[in-house]
Amino acid sequence: MDNEIIKLKQRFELVGNSTLFLRSLKKALRVANTDISILVTGESGTGKDVIPKIIHENSSRKHGQFIAVNCGAIPEGTIDSELFGHEKGAFTGAINARKGYFEVANNGTIFLDEIGDLPLQTQVRLLRVLENGEFIKVGSSKVEKTNIRLIAATNINLLEAVKKNKFREDLFYRINTIQIEMTALRSRQEDIHLMFRKFASDFSSKHRMPTVKLTEDGIRLIEKYHWPGNIRELKNFTEKISIVEEKRILDSSDISSHFLTNNKTESSLIISKESDQNNISEREILYKILFDLKNDLNDLKKITLDLIQGHDQNENFQINNAERIQRIYKNNEPVEIKTPKNPKIIDEAIIEENLSLQDNECDMIQKALDKNNGKRKKAAKELGISERTLYRKIKQYDL
What digits encode the pLDDT tens for the residues 344-377?
444 444 444 444 556 677 778 888 888 888 888 8
Beta strands in the chain (DSSP E): 38-41, 66-70, 109-113, 134-136, 143-145, 149-154, 178-181, 213-214, 249-250
Looking at residues 136-161, what average pLDDT do you find?
Answer: 92
Q: What pLDDT shows up at residue 359?
A: 66
Beta 143-145 vs 249-250: how paired, if at all? unpaired
**Four-point Cα dihedral 52, 56, 61, 64, nearest 10:** 80
Q: Which residue type is seen at 4? A: E
Closest to 146 in 3D by CA, of 102, 95, 186: 102
Q: What pLDDT shows up at residue 98?
A: 87
Quick one: angle between helices 50-57 and 19-31, nearest 10?
40
CA distances from 370 to 9, 357, 363, 375, 384 (A): 83, 20, 11, 9, 16
Q: What pLDDT shows up at residue 31?
A: 94
pLDDT-wise least confident of 199-203, 216-220, 261-265, 318-322: 261-265
Domain limits, CATH 1.10.8.60, in the chain: 186-270
CATH class, domain 186-270, is: mainly alpha
pLDDT-wise least confident of 63-72, 77-86, 132-141, 370-379: 370-379
Residue 319 pLDDT greater than 60, yes or no: no
Domain limits, CATH 3.40.50.300, in the chain: 3-183
Residue 334 pLDDT greater than 50, yes or no: no
Q: What pLDDT shows up at residue 337?
A: 43
Q: What pLDDT shows up at residue 378?
A: 82
pLDDT-wise least confident of 18-22, 87-91, 116-120, 200-204: 87-91
Whether this prediction's pTM lies above 0.75 is answered by no
**Cβ-based neighbours of 232, under 8 Å, separated by 6 or more:** 44, 45
Looking at residues 374-398, what average pLDDT do you find?
Answer: 79
Band of the pLDDT at 272, cuts 50, 70, 90? very low
State the chain's mean pLDDT as an integer.
80
Closest to 177 in 3D by CA, of 150, 154, 156: 150
Q: What pLDDT shows up at residue 195?
A: 94
The share of the chain scoring above pLDDT 90, in percent, equals 48
Q: Are 109 and 67 in contact (CB under 8 A)?
A: yes
Q: What pLDDT shows up at residue 358?
A: 65
Beta 143-145 vs 134-136: how paired, if at all? antiparallel
Q: What pLDDT shows up at residue 49?
A: 93
Task: Name the superfamily (CATH) of residues 3-183.
Answer: P-loop containing nucleotide triphosphate hydrolases (3.40.50.300)
Looking at residues 109-133, what average pLDDT do you find?
Answer: 93
Band of the pLDDT at 39, cuts 50, 70, 90? very high
